[in-house]
Structure 1
Amino acid sequence: MAKLYFYYASMNAGKSSSLLQADFNYRERGMRTMVWTASLDTRSAGLVQSRIGLEAEAHRYTDTTDLWHAIVAAHGEAPLDCVLVDEAQFLTGAQVWQLARLADEAGIPVLCYGLRTDFRGELFPGSAVLLGIADALVELKAVCHCGRKATMNLRVDESGAPVKEGQQTEIGGNDRYLALCRKHFSAALAS
């Protein structure tokens, strides 16, 4: 039975690396995969890239992409063994349900990788639905500078000062975000 998986973590936990490793494992065994990433992330158009240098080509989705129809069409041409979605926090609720339908009706395992919360500690819409309906939830671990598990994403400005307000989504990497434990996240926002 195919399942919908949600692998979630803070920044710098290796979500994209894990996705790329899973994709490699399927393909190494002669299986066919389909990789998706958010068009919103313009840093690497058409690629899933990890900080350690791994990358793979990916289809890009926007908030209007009908993932069910796009994936079922590809599956009809040549059967898919797995669908992998990077930046899953940017999925809409409807898209998450489309991915669940792929697992339930088309029998295709779907592995989603993304952030759980934003820089304010609030759930992303796609993550909220995934946390609610995924068959399996897997927390990947990142490490705070103190050595504790990092669960929060602190947004910083160009000078490294904490950002407390703004749009939920601002694309960036280590230049814009720090993975911190809740204690150090709270302390940074209180300063």
Structure 2
Amino acid sequence: MAKLYFYYASMNAGKSTTLLQADFNYRERGMATMLFTAAVDDRFATGTITSRIGLSAPATMFDAATDIAAAVTERHRRGHLACVLVDEAQFLTADQVRQLAGIADGLGVPVLAYGLRTDFRGQLFEGSARLLAVADALIEIKSVCACGRKATMNLRVDREGRAVAEGRQTEIGGNDRYVALCRRHFTEALE
């Protein structure tokens, strides 16, 4: 029975690297996969999942209007898909998460979704909230705060490295804009 998996973590935990390794494992065994990434993520090449350690793979871009179920069903019809992998899953809509569950349940294709749990204010993203509610398996990928404790929060910083507490939920950036921290240091930085 295929399942919907949600791999979540703070920034810089290796979510994209882990996704690309899973994709490689399937493809190395001659199995077909389909990769998705958020169109809004323009940090690297568009239509590409790229990890900070230099791994990358082409992917189908999605935005709020994308019918992921239709794209997967069409691709699956042309040749059996062994797995669907979604990067930046926090940017999924609740309906797209429903579609992913339908892919696992109806098509029998496992779906591995990777993303942030919370934003820079400690609030759930729509896609993450829905995945936390309906995924068959929740897997935390660990990252480390500068103090050595587990990093669970994403602190947004300005150009001078000062904590940012207000703004749009989505602002694309990497190490220049976000720091993964434990809850204690996240809270202290915002106070």
Give the Å deviation of 1:42.
1.3
CA distance in 2, matches of 1:85, 1:29: 20
1:136 corresponds to 2:146? no
The equivalent residue for 2:114 is 113
How far, CA to CA, are the matches of 1:160 and 1:43 in structure 2?
19
Q: Show the counterpart of 2:6.
A: 6
Q: Distance in 2 between matches of 1:107 and 1:140?
A: 25
Deviations 1:28-87 (A, max 9, x none): 000000000000101220110001110000000010000001110010011100000000
Q: Secondary structure at the match of 2:154?
A: strand
Q: In 2, Cα distance between the equivalents of 1:108 and 1:134?
A: 14
In 2, Cα distance between equivalents of 1:36 and 1:68? 12
TM-score by length of 1: 0.99
Match for 2:186: what amino acid?
F
**1:43 match:** 43
CA distance in 2, matches of 1:61, 1:184: 34
Using the alignment, how far apart are the partners of 1:178 and 1:47 within structure 2?
A: 23
Map 1:165-184 to 2 at 5 A.
165-184=166-185
Residue 151 of structure 1, CA deviation: 0.1
The match for 1:21 is 21
Secondary structure of 1:150's aligned partner: coil
For residue 140 of structure 1, report the CA deviation from its aligned partner.
Answer: 0.3
Is 1:88 aligned to residue 77 of structure 2? Answer: no
Give, in whole Å, the separation in 2 of the partners of 1:32 and 1:70: 14
Q: Does 1:160 align with 2:181?
A: no
The number of residue pairs the alignment matches comes to: 190
Equivalent position SS for 1:143: coil
Structure 1 runs not aligned, ≥5 long: none
One-letter amino acid matched to 2:124: L
Structure 2 unaligned regions, length at least 5? none
Counterpart AA for 1:39: A
- AA aligned to 1:158 is R
Partners of 2:15 and 2:174 in 1: how far apart?
Answer: 13
Q: CA RMSD of the aligned region, Å? A: 0.4
1:122 paired with 2:150, answer no
TM-score, normalised on structure 2?
0.99
Give the distance between the partners of 2:51 and 2:128, measured in 1 at CA.
Answer: 20
Residue 173 (structure 1) shift: 0.3
Aligned pairs for 1:51-90 within 5 A:
51-90=52-91
Alignment partners' CA distance in 1, 2:42 and 2:143: 24
